[in-house]
Amino acid sequence: MINIVLFGKPGAGKGTQAEFLKEKYNLTHISTGDIFRYNIKNETALGLEAKSYINKGDLVPDSLTIKMLQDEVERHPETKGFLFDGFPRTLAQAEALDAFLATKKWEVTATIALEADDEILVKRLLERGKTSGRPDDQDEDKIRNRYQEYNEKTAPLMEYYNKQNKFYPVNGIGSIAEITERLSAVIESL
């Protein structure tokens, strides 16, 4: 089983790249964004709680995110592996993911970070916000708040996974095909 964590700031291309990687490597794609949107759209208790944070431009608390993720993993017991997109975002989430996977005798194989300059990403999200209908993609202050939260809470994951020899930074700027090729090179080297 191969379990890949794909992370990067909002707008870095995680969702786009996840679509290619899940097909190429036969992985079950678990996007916290998709899980949030599903729960919000269906007005589940978890979804309504998540919505209150997202609308303010804040990250959803770990306990809520972890519960949604565990529910989703449990729905795919026969998978060849998972591609975690947007999770973990904090050290507590990484530790919770490791503990949860260990109960199934699984582990994170690698963490791949799509890296890109903030100014490029802000422009991407504002452009995406014109068609996505997502309020958090239409307000530059909210976008920058998400990046500040990312830097404070997610950056420590680099060290966490680096200590386990599971951290691989990848340049997230270029064509979709170029970035996919960079990601594939990492996965195939594992």
- The catalytic site residues sit at 14, 89, 128, 134, 146
Among 189, 182, 190, smallest CA distance to 21 is for 182
How many angstroms separate the CA atoms of 130 and 189, rounded? Answer: 38
Among 146, 180, 183, smallest CA distance to 10 is for 146
